[in-house]
Amino acid sequence: MTSPYSIDRETAVGAEARLSWILAGVAGMLGAVAFLHSAGYFVTFMTGNTERAVVGWFGHPEGKEVAPGATPLVALTLIVAFVAGVVLASFCRRRYWDNHPHGATVVTTIALALAGIIDIAVSGWSSADVNFYPILLVAFALGALNTAFTKKEETYIPLSYVTGTVVKLGQGIERHLTGGGTKYDWLCYLLLLGSFSLGGAVGAAVGVLITGPQVLLLAALLSFGATIFTFTHTERRSVFG
């Protein structure tokens, strides 16, 4: 018997799903750029930031090496920046952008452009690393991006929440294997995970060729393109809640 939670083909690979792959790729790219072109900061991985914010105060066992990354205070600041992006984008969507998902990508685009411009102003066009304040703007941008797919004021496709995506992937596999669902129950999450991973690979590869602030501006352009696509798509079809 098919589960009432089974996912249909349109939901799994339709136009909305394809847009989510693009935005998940942008998120993955930004996560890779921020991690590689900073002191190992997480802008998508709030679980990691929470762990650092807590355990960092206790030091580490004698003789153990700890990977570089955010101090507890910096990790907490990154979480606050991410949450601020969610709050602002959610407020704007509820008050001004009802039924218009492109609003979240507008916020993301502006934040990324500002991050790139500020980093260039502070460190120059050819700077290898991205300064901390632009990194905060990137975390803010990703918080906003995660509100792009919302129904009844709740996000139903969290673009950078990989842990949740993997859990849903496993649940979908179980439903398919036991006859309670179809391949679309897990394929949609596999494709979302693959898009995020591909974005991370692109960010890492591009980061070798160009500088951190240049990659941020490239990401802003990609986000702007996603904004245009989302806007025109929404005007053609009212499929977003």
pLDDT in tens, 56-103: 777 666 655 555 667 888 889 999 999 999 999 999 888 887 666 678
Q: How many CA atoms lie within 13 A of 182 on its CB side?
A: 10
Task: Give the best-scoring range by mean pLDDT among 109-118, 156-165, 228-237.
Answer: 109-118
Give pLDDT, residue 241.
Answer: 40
Angle, CA 76 vertex, CA 137 and CA 71 arms, to 5°: 100
Mean pLDDT (whole number) for 195-224 = 88
132 membership: H or E segment, kind and range: helix 132-145
Question: Worst-scoring range by mean pLDDT, 29-33, 80-84, 120-124, 191-195?
Answer: 120-124
pLDDT beyond 50 at 239 = no
Q: Which stretch of 85-89, 172-176, 192-196, 211-215 has the lowest confidence by average pLDDT?
A: 211-215
User: Where residue 238 falls among pLDDT bands split at 50, 70, 90?
Assistant: very low
Measured CA to CA, the distance from residue 5 to residue 123 in angstroms comes to 50
Do the Cβ atoms of 133 and 118 come closer than 8 Å?
yes
What is the model's pLDDT at position 68?
A: 60
Tell me the average pLDDT across 148-152: 82
Around Cβ 164, how many Cβ atoms within 10 Å?
A: 11
| Average pLDDT score over the chain | 85
Note the pLDDT of residue 212: 78
Task: Provide the pLDDT confidence category of residue 233 given band limits of 50, 70 and 90.
Answer: low
Percent of the chain scoring above 70 in pLDDT = 88
